[in-house]
Amino acid sequence: PFYCNPFILLARARIFADPLTVTAGVFAPMGRALPEDGHWRVRGCWGWGSGTRNAHWIFAGCLLMDGPPDAEGRPTPRRLPNGQPDVTMMILPAKDVIFHDTWQAMGLCGTGSGDFEVRDLLIPHDHAVSLFSSPVLRPGAGWIGRRRLAALQDDMVHRSSASRMPENCQRAAGGKKLR
């Protein structure tokens, strides 16, 4: 739904203008987004961000906090007709993301993985798409179904890792020359 959703067609043109653009992210809705003047103000911390350090754009699962206020006047998540929260993917520029070095698995530093965070990042409205409620254009060229999103994320990780492998290996080698 990301790539063929009418709300993000313009964003798609900006994000993927370069065919070598690398994306990565986390679908789990660990972030919160509040509406603000036609934008979303996003904050959150996501774990297990596979390939995020190597990406140009980060996909981050969020709850849109524009539902009716609770008894104390605090914002609540937008809900689907079945009562479940409407999980929305935010498309964040990697240059605005804070990366935390939490990936200490032996031999996997080249994956560029770890936790990441944003604090009050203002993003355009068209950089958000619901995984469940955003309208989707008729399937056709470039269409990707909801069931294939997990496979897409795996692909993003592999492309991300491969694209930065030489410099990640050099860094891991402590400045030694690669042969």
56-65, 104-113, 131-140: segment of lowest average pLDDT: 131-140
Residue-level pLDDT at 28: 92
Number of other residues whose CB lies within 10 A of the CB of residue 165: 14
Predicted TM-score (pTM) above 0.75: no
Residue 38: which of 120, 134, 123 has the closest Cα? 123
Q: pLDDT tens for residues 66-123? A: 999 999 999 999 999 999 998 988 999 999 999 998 877 776 666 778 899 999 999 9
Does residue 96 contact residue 118 with C-beta atoms inside 8 Å?
A: yes
Report how far Cα 61 is from the mean position of its chain's Cα atoms: 6
CA dist 105 and 150 (Å) reads 22
